[in-house]
Chains A and B, each alone.
Chain A
């Protein structure tokens, strides 16, 4: 079941990328996706203890999170734009190293949080040590933004709803 879903996923990607629907290209796609599935399907999801239903629920919730994320990226990009174009010796640039604690448990959720923080302009995750994230933040506004745990709660509601 697991292998079949990986196979279908890869074959879908093949069809989108090739854009050819004749028998020759579809056969090539079948052979290569079957080969990749046979060799490396174990790498896709390390933790397979959760059922397919829970996975699908996660996948459905991710776009909702991403649209919120996109709005956040837009807001903070505007902030960086304002910073870069402000006159004088950039009075609002007050870089700072921040440590925040996270309550997220799985590695994947932590990785997702770290990537989201880095993706939001103005903050970069330097390191994850256990449940602490070391973050470089560029100004007062982004520092308060990252110390607020709104992002973490959203990620927890996407990936760890069952655990909490």
Chain B
């Protein structure tokens, strides 16, 4: 019962962070700031959802379930490893390709041009 509650809370929190990331992708002004939402809104949310699932597995404590929880932990480690790497690769490619960095002051000028 307690374990189920912990699991549900973790997964729900993860989903809230996911929503924040998705909204950020739509609302942020340029490529770089969108990468912030796309690449990293995930880290915490995926972590929370997966830890929630691992906790759920452990509610019925057997060796097989312990191993499954271990595998889920491996997935979280992989995501924490791969997500920053791919974010970095994309954003570096963007900079080298010449995407303009949006700043507060630029915005006024572009509005004036229009």
A95 touches B84 (CB 8 A): no
Cα A94 to Cα B44 in complex, Å, equals 23
- Residue A106 interfacial (CB < 8 Å): no
In the bound complex, residues from chain B placing their C-beta under 8 Å from that of A118 are: 39-40, 84-85, 87-88
> Whole-angstrom distance from the CB of B40 to the nearest CB of chain A?
4
Q: Is the CB of B35 within 8 A of A124?
A: yes
Binary per-residue interface labels of chain A (112-135) against chain B in the complex, 1 for a CB within 8 Å, 0 otherwise? 001100111110111100000000
Q: Does A1 lie at the interface of the complex (its beta carbon under 8 Å from any beta carbon of B)?
A: no
Check A119 against B84 for contact (C-beta < 8 Å). Answer: yes
**What's the Cα separation between A19 and B69 when bound, in Å?**
11
Instruction: Kindly list chain A residues whose C-beta atoms are within 8 Å of the C-beta of B41.
Output: 77, 80-81, 84, 121
**A-B Cβ contacts below 8 A, count:** 108
Interface size on B, residues (CB 8 A): 42
Contact with A along B13-46 (1 / 0, CB 8 A): 0001100110110011110110111011101110
Interface core residue of B40, B84, B87 (most chain A CB under 10 Å): B40
The bracket for how many chain A residues form the interface is 20 to 34
Say whether B67 faces chain A, with CB atoms less than 8 Å apart.
yes
**Are B91 and A84 neighbours in the complex by a CB distance under 8 Å?**
no
Selected contact of A17 from candidates B23, B71, B102, CB within 8 Å: B71
Q: A16-B67, A73-B43, A119-B83 are in contact. Are A97 and B88 (CB under 8 A)?
A: no
A16 near B74 with CB under 8 A, answer yes
In the complex with contacts A77-B40, A115-B85, A119-B40, A84-B21 CB distance below 8 A: yes
Interchain CB contact under 8 A, B64 and A84: no
Q: Is A85 an interface residue (CB 8 A)?
A: yes
Q: Give Cα distance in the complex from A121 to B44, angstroms.
A: 9
Please list the residues of chain A having a beta carbon within 8 angstroms of any beta carbon in chain B. Answer: 16-17, 19, 70, 73-74, 77, 80-81, 83-85, 90, 93-97, 114-115, 118-122, 124-127, 136, 138
Which 8 A-B pairs give the minimum distances between C-beta atoms? Answer: A118-B84, A84-B24, A81-B20, A121-B40, A77-B44, A19-B67, A84-B23, A119-B84
Apart from A115-B85, A118-B88, A124-B32, 4 more pairs, CB < 8 Å: A70-B47, A74-B44, A81-B20, A138-B36
